[in-house]
Amino acid sequence: MDKSEWEIAWSNFLSVDVAEMDDEHRQFIARVNELNRAIVEIEDKATVARAMDLMLMEAARHFKHEEQLLARWNYPETAAHAAKHAELTAQFDRTVKEFAATDISFVWALKGLHIKQLLVGHLLNEDMKYRDFLRAQGTPRGS
């Protein structure tokens, strides 16, 4: 299969203008691509599960880190953003359980794609809101 059909490439339009968040998002996208590669190449279930676990562990760490920064920046939607992270984490947990419960590789592909959509959707729809907030403030923020 042509890689470009499913691989996500990092590009500047994904940047939130905060280097350490961009680094984590970039890492994230690399994990999403690894998960997809494992699914597309129909790796065994343990390999797909490992890729999924790794991605979710990093997601959990990233969410916590991002929430700390949002609070430090006095981002007015910090609590709402943290609630979105909690919602995503609950959806991930559900998806991983559904994944574990099936041995049908077609279903794994759906579960993997679902996680990818949730993560990328959050980056594009929610994380971009704090980028816009920081831009409106006019000063570049570090940690």
Stretch that binds Fe ion, among 35-43, 60-68, 89-97, 107-115 (CB under 5 A): 60-68
Question: Taking CB under 5 A as the criterion, which residues in 61-100 touch Fe ion?
Answer: 66
CA 132 to CA 125: how far, in whole Å?
Answer: 11
Q: CB within 8 A of 16, min separation 6: which ones?
A: 22, 25, 127, 128, 130, 131, 134
Residue 43 Cβ vs Fe ion, minimum distance, rounded to whole Å: 27
- Cα–Cα nearest to 131, from 26, 16, 50: 16
- For residues 48 and 119, which CB has a smaller minimum distance to Fe ion in the complex? 119
Does the footprint of Fe ion cover residue 127 (CB under 5 A)? yes
Q: Please count the residues of this chain forming the interface with Fe ion, following the rule CB under 5 A.
A: 2
- For residues 66 and 134, which CB has a smaller minimum distance to Fe ion in the complex? 66
CB-based contact 143:68 (threshold 8 Å): no
- For residues 47 and 89, which CB has a smaller minimum distance to Fe ion in the complex? 89
